[in-house]
Amino acid sequence: MKISDSIVKAINEQIKAEYDSAYIYLAMSAYFEDQGLKGMAHWMKKQYAEEVEHAEKFVNYLYERGARVIIPEIAKPKDDYNDALDVFQTAYKHEQYVTSRIYNLVEQAVNEKDYATQSFLKWYVDEQMEEEDNTSSIVNQLEFLGNDKHSVYMIDRELASR
């Protein structure tokens, strides 16, 4: 069954959102490098790579369905933050936003009775649960231990092992 133009359009928009996410995390990584927080920089660099994978998975899906992929312009990410807590709070909020985008896509696929896209999106629904959990647990850790130099240094060392 042919994929609808509206689903192709929505997935192309999501491809952009995933590349935007990648850039947001790359900028967060650069911020941490500048702060001397190598572990957090490493964690964000890994997150950047994951987002590129998310985008490519959508790209490949459109190829498989014989649809046209439009390679998007990537938005300039914010490059300054107050501190580590501010960065991870922003990341958590961003993941909640991405989850809402994925849910909208699922809703659209359900409305259009596009079962293949619904099945494909299942992976992203699960992935978003993990993404929110990863970022919110670091926010919780920073809030629990305190956002002071000593705690940030400890968490930085832990995040180096991602």
Alpha carbon distance 146, 111 (integer Å): 46
Q: Where are the alpha helices (DSSP H) in 2-83?
A: 5-35, 38-64
Q: Residues near 153 by Cβ (< 8 Å), separated by ≥ 6? A: none
Nearer to ligand OFO, 100 or 119 (CB): 100
Nearer to ligand OFO, 60 or 149 (CB): 60
Is 98 one of the binding residues for ligand OFO (CB under 6 A)?
A: yes
Closest to 51 measured CA to CA, from 21, 24, 83: 21
Is 54 one of the binding residues for ligand OFO (CB under 6 A)?
A: yes
Nearer to ligand OFO, 98 or 142 (CB): 98
Window 115-134: residues binding ligand OFO (CB under 6 A)? 131
CB 33 to ligand OFO: min, Å: 20
Is 114 one of the binding residues for ligand OFO (CB under 6 A)?
A: no
Residue nearest ligand OFO by beta-carbon distance: 21
CB 107 to ligand OFO: min, Å: 18
Among 51, 62, 89, 121, the residue binding ligand OFO under the rule CB under 6 A is 51
Among 12, 21, 29, 117, the residue binding ligand OFO under the rule CB under 6 A is 21
Alpha carbon distance 5, 35 (integer Å): 45
Among 28, 45, 95, 138, the residue binding ligand OFO under the rule CB under 6 A is 95
Closest to 15 measured CA to CA, from 66, 65, 74, 67: 74
Closest to 78 measured CA to CA, from 147, 26, 131, 135: 26
Question: Exposure of 5 by Cβ count < 10 A (0-12 exposed, 13-18 middle, 19+ buried)?
Answer: exposed
Binding region for ligand OFO (CB under 6 A): 18, 21, 51, 54, 95, 98, 131
